[in-house]
Chain A
């Protein structure tokens, strides 16, 4: 067993992204769109670089993984695809460089046990046992630790191979997300010795490393989600020293002029009803977006997409994310002092 390095100044090319937010705001949607945008970028870059050369096997050019941490798969239904497993599988319907996987705490723990104990039959005996199953279910933080352990396995050089250039996690909603991030430290106190105990400190160090782990919070332009997002972002900064990226989902972007045109519609309709409702809604939305922008400079606004099918929806969103990403990139270039 390789001894893990606690030296976190050691760099890795891999990046992981944890997506969280209040339940129901569109975390899974954003995570999938973000992963697709990255896969598309990767595909473009590789096409430009490799016209003749054989595909490089470095981590830098390895595919993107979209992994969901929820106990029962959301993506299997959302994308109407076969059940996903711990090991990633390319999802060609979106992009061949985009792999999808379903990580449950229990499966990660089992995989880790197999890696550690080497004897498969022993591991099976342990995990197929109702006692163990019950313990794993209710043990606080154990599954969460296993998830983060697997998520950080590449830089820690500890665990089965995880060769992806970037991993986007559709992670838990706010409360559970904090439990997830706190699990290494929490469990480190109970399990101080043995391989798991040592690893907990290593895992915590990598999770809090800015160059390796990025956090993305999704919200809606409404009171409850925004309030929760600000509280969560605050906690992330004070407790872990991490500054999250903020995404606002389902923003209604209707040009003002179109409201005027309503009154011209033939046959005349009760446009006042529509106008009042929508304008009020837009006003409220903008108010909450401003609240966010007061604290966080980069707030990404995603419009309400009107695609009804998940695949098209995610494709539209990935396009938009790429557009906004390029805009931001240009802005950064233009603001550089040495720009001629």
Chain B
């Protein structure tokens, strides 16, 4: 597997259950072995992987070997850190405390950090801007649609734009200005509806919330812009991971079209967990099926899926390298720390003809 000369960031995307986390670690291990200083940011690694990378769920970076570093993102922590940092430049201690203690904010941070997309992006941006590593690899949260990940910053920005804040600040004040009163009738109607649905308490909480974060908007917008710039940068590459399964390959095709349409640089497609017997020939398969029908059916199934893939436009896409990674069946629960195993997976990446 090869990256472009100036690439500093490699982002792995794909739906759940395809082995994305392990693969991103494997690629990290591979490039580290080639001499690059690599940081792998993982989400929810398996026990085996966490052991291999010597990481715990505390958000700290661990040195795995000479060139390889790893870290599991602690999302709740990341969000709070982010808020405090963004607020520090324009707010004092007591204001910051007010936000962190706001009931609505607490729930908001749980929700946002729970979805993991936003905090993954913040952390990625943080590490890349440090310019300490040659390559930072991000394993993204599994998503049917990676657009969740890519759109996470915008979703938040929407909430904090000046228009929104103004709304609720006005709702809380008495407007004697006739012009403002007229302008607000629509707003008032909507807020009345919201109040009917949720009760007056909730509206009050919302007003307090928006007042509290009023000073935070500008720094937040700056941070969000930085994240977006990172995603579309020439030094960022995306790798899409999928599996040898008809439905997954279809999803991958759709995902890759979406990504490319949006202008992100998708340069790698990796089909993970491909069994070694995939190279069986037509006559061999026929012979097997006549002697052992169930077995033959099963083998043929995998070969057929691969054939289907070869027919799709995927492989014809220029600038897209397509690889397969061979499946390794583990005999033990927890392998003795196996960096070599990971490096093997990286080496097993072979281009699909």
A binding-site residues for B, Cβ under 8 Å: 22-25, 29, 70-72, 74, 77-78, 113, 116-117, 122-123, 125-126, 129-135, 137-141, 173, 175, 179, 186, 190-197, 220, 223-225, 252-255, 258-259, 261-262, 264-267, 269, 273-274, 277-278, 280-281, 284, 304, 306, 308-310
Contacts and interface: CB of A to CB of B under 8 A. Distances in A.
Interface size grouping (class) on chain B: 35 or more
Given A116-B196, A130-B158, 14 more contacts: A23-B16, A72-B144, A122-B190, A140-B111, A186-B107, A191-B202, A194-B196, A252-B298, A261-B292, A264-B291, A265-B291, A265-B292, A273-B277, A274-B295
Contacts of B214: none
A116 B167 contact: no
Given A135-B159, A138-B155, A196 B304 contact: no
Nearest to B333: A223
B133 to A, nearest CB: 28
Contacts, number: 183
A102 to B, nearest CB: 13
A304 B199 contact: no
Contact of A129 (B142, B190, B250, B305): B190
A77 B250 contact: yes
A267 B285 CA distance: 11
B190 A126 contact: yes
Determine chain B's interface SS by DSSP, over half rule. helix
Contacts of B288: 262, 265, 269
A38 B24 CA distance: 41
Interface in B287-302: 287-288, 291-295, 297-301
B144 A137 contact: no
A137 B164 CA distance: 14
A269 B107 CA distance: 61
Contact of B17 (A23, A197, A280): A23
Contacts of A258: 291-295
B20 to A, nearest CB: 10
Nearest to A74: B144
B205 interface: yes
Given A265-B291, A306-B297, A274 B329 contact: no
B158 A134 contact: yes
Interface string B93-135: 0000000000110011011101000000000000000000000
B153 to A, nearest CB: 12
Given A223-B46, A224-B46, A265-B287, A304 B16 contact: no
Nearest to A274: B277
B186 to A, nearest CB: 7
Determine chain A's interface SS by DSSP, over half rule. helix
A24 B17 contact: yes
B197 A138 contact: no
Nearest to B254: A77
Given A265-B288, A273-B276, A308-B305, A125 B197 contact: no
Given A123-B193, A137-B155, A196-B199, A306 B298 contact: yes
A284 B298 contact: no
Interface in B229-282: 246-248, 250-251, 254, 275-277, 280
Nearest to A306: B301
Contacts of B155: 134, 137-138
Contacts of A130: 158, 163-164
A123 B164 CA distance: 18
Contacts of A126: 190, 193-194
Given A130-B158, A131-B163, A197 B247 contact: no
Contact of A308 (B142, B248, B304): B304
A117 B308 CA distance: 52
A255 to B, nearest CB: 6
Contacts of B331: 280, 284
A72 B144 CA distance: 8
7 contacts: A23-B15, A125-B186, A125-B189, A196-B199, A197-B199, A277-B327, A277-B329
A308 B246 contact: yes
A77 to B, nearest CB: 7
A4 to B, nearest CB: 16
B145 interface: yes
A149 to B, nearest CB: 11
Contact of A253 (B46, B111, B284, B294): B294
